[in-house]
Amino acid sequence: MITAGDFRNGITFELDGQIYQVVEFQHVKPGKGAAFVRTKLKNIVTGATVERTFNPTDKFENAIIERKDMQYLYNDGDLYYFMDTETYEQMPLNKASIGDSLKFVKENVVVKILSHKGNVFGIEPPTFVELAVINTEPGFKGDTATGATKPATVETGAVIKVPLFVNEGDMVRIDTRTGEYMERV
């Protein structure tokens, strides 16, 4: 059990049958009245965020999130197949439980499968990936003074913004949390 007074960023707990993660919290002690905890919570299954206030003595059940390394093998329509790197068991997941978390992940890359009580609800890709640019407009000399960007399609099919000097065939490093171009490799 955890009390609202013990909330910290990243803590997961159960509330109304749902699993929430604390994104932000603030302990408030007004001059008049009782103290309370103002929080911003993220539903880890749906991704929706809500703001709630709690009494510091409110108690909640801890939610233990299991993270397991699995290798992404391939997709077949709406099913994505992953392999446990220790037991070599394959596990199919449907597109609804994955969302768009694989848009920067190539086949044979190890990802973390997130589950709660055996129910898979998401995938954590590696923080940084290196992908080849397969389609982008050529940059023009002299256009770099403003720090301008252009759209580029990478080998997984995702479209990102890159600086004008990046060309087709270049390898780029991408931050998968934000989808931003980091550097040319």
The per-residue pLDDT for range 11-20, each reduced to its tens digit, is: 889 988 888 9
Q: Out of 15-24, 53-62, 133-142, 165-174, which region has the weakest mean confidence (pLDDT)?
A: 133-142
| Residue whose C-alpha is closest to residue 181's, from 154, 145, 155 | 154
pTM of the model: 0.72
Q: Is the pLDDT of residue 72 over 90?
A: yes
Digit-coded pLDDT (tens) for 139-150: 766 655 667 888
| Contacts by residues 5-9 (CB-CB < 8 Å, ≥ 24 positions apart) | 5/37, 5/56, 5/57, 7/37, 7/39, 7/54
Domains and CATH numbers, the chain: 2-62 (2.30.30.30), 66-124 (2.40.50.140), 128-184 (2.40.50.140)
What pLDDT does residue 10 have? 81
Q: Out of 26-30, 93-97, 123-127, 153-157, which region has the weakest mean confidence (pLDDT)?
A: 93-97
| Residue whose C-alpha is closest to residue 154's, from 100, 82, 106 | 106
The answer to whether 32 touches 11, Cβ cutoff 8 Å, is no
What pLDDT does residue 152 have? 93
What pLDDT does residue 154 have? 94
| Residue whose C-alpha is closest to residue 41's, from 5, 2, 12, 1 | 12
Digit-coded pLDDT (tens) for 85-117: 899 999 998 887 777 888 899 999 999 998 888
Query: Taking all residues of the chain, what is their mean pLDDT, rounded to a whole number?
Result: 88
